[in-house]
Amino acid sequence: MSKRYVLAMMRHETNTFSPLPTELRHFSRGSEDDALLSGQDAIDAYQGTTSPFAGFYDLIKDEAEIDVPCTGNAWLLDALRSGRQCVVDGNAIEFWRADTGEELTLEMQRPGTEGVAVINWPVGVAEAPWPVSMPLVNEALYVLRRAGWTEAALIRVMVLNPEVVQHSQTAIAWLAAHGCSRQAELLMSDLE
């Protein structure tokens, strides 16, 4: 298995006396729609520059597989990422995984309850449905782990009212306020 790296960069100089706000678009570089850059777009924009991103990329590019472990769908739950994740009440809930190169089976439990659900991903498949045998409870903690492993993802699921998602800006604010910041960022990138 090849080494895996996460490479990210953000630069911001604080000036408390400036009357101008710092907007998300100020963090973009070279994108036509002022969106944040990721994946190959970020590499293309910074490669060959004197930025820290370019320097670290030069160090790892020959020994690492370049992968962008982020789904473009804000409503898929990242099965291997601990933290708060939000779903829309009444919508089909699906888990997502970045690495589809091997089969994956996770056991899912809610602490303090009996029963274990199993989630299976065959090779090449990124998404899997929420197990019907595992009740969805708002603000409940769920533990997902590979059979026999001690390491686990701890996911607290927040359920939002479907009326909130009718307006993107309201949904973004709700997600951010409830700790689902990654999902809020994905929705924000769709607005730009």
Residues 170 and 116 in one domain: yes
By the 10 Å C-beta count (0-12 exposed, 13-18 middle, 19+ buried), 14 is classed as exposed
Q: At 86, is the pLDDT very low, low, confident or very high (cuts 50, 70, 90)?
A: very high
* Degrees to nearest 5, angle at CA 14 with 13 and 19: 120
pLDDT of residue 64: 62
When pLDDT is averaged across residues 105-122 and rounded to a whole number, the result is: 93
When pLDDT is averaged across residues 85-109 and rounded to a whole number, the result is: 90
Residues 61 and 84 in one domain: no
Task: Give yes or no for residue 118 having a pLDDT over 50.
Answer: yes
Residue with tokens 């929705």: 187
pLDDT of residue 176: 87
When pLDDT is averaged across residues 138-159 and rounded to a whole number, the result is: 90
Look at the pTM and tell me if it is higher than 0.85: no
Residues 90 and 177 in one domain: yes
Residues 20 and 105 in one domain: no
Per the CB < 8 A criterion, the answer to whether 105 and 136 are in contact is no
When pLDDT is averaged across residues 73-99 and rounded to a whole number, the result is: 89
CA gap 129, 7 in Å, rounded? 30
Residues 26 and 62 in one domain: yes
The 10 Å CB-count burial string (b at 16+, else e) for 22-44 is eeeeeebbeeeeebbbeeebbbe
168 lies in which domain range?
77-191
Task: Give yes or no for residue 178 having a pLDDT over 80.
Answer: yes
Per the CB < 8 A criterion, the answer to whether 110 and 145 are in contact is no
Question: How far is the CA of 68 from the CAs of 39, 42, 55, in angstroms?
Answer: 5, 11, 18
When pLDDT is averaged across residues 80-91 and rounded to a whole number, the result is: 89
Residue scoring higher pLDDT (29 or 174): 174
Longest dimension (CA), the chain: 57
Residue scoring higher pLDDT (134 or 25): 134
64 DSSP assignment: B
Q: Using DSSP bridges, classify how beta strands 140-146 and 104-109 pair: parallel, antiparallel or unpaired.
A: antiparallel
Residue scoring higher pLDDT (50 or 104): 104
* Degrees to nearest 5, angle at CA 69 with 65 and 70: 150
Secondary structure of residue 27 in the 3-state scheme: helix
Residue with tokens 């927040």: 158
pLDDT of residue 7: 73
Residue with tokens 């998602």: 165
**Which range, of 69-73, 147-151, 185-189, averages the lowest pLDDT?**
69-73
When pLDDT is averaged across residues 7-26 and rounded to a whole number, the result is: 68
Number of domains the chain contains? 2
Per the CB < 8 A criterion, the answer to whether 24 and 191 are in contact is no
pLDDT of residue 12: 64
When pLDDT is averaged across residues 63-77 and rounded to a whole number, the result is: 66
pLDDT of residue 168: 82
Q: Which of 68, 88, 104 is the last residue of a domain?
A: 68
Residues 181 and 88 in one domain: yes
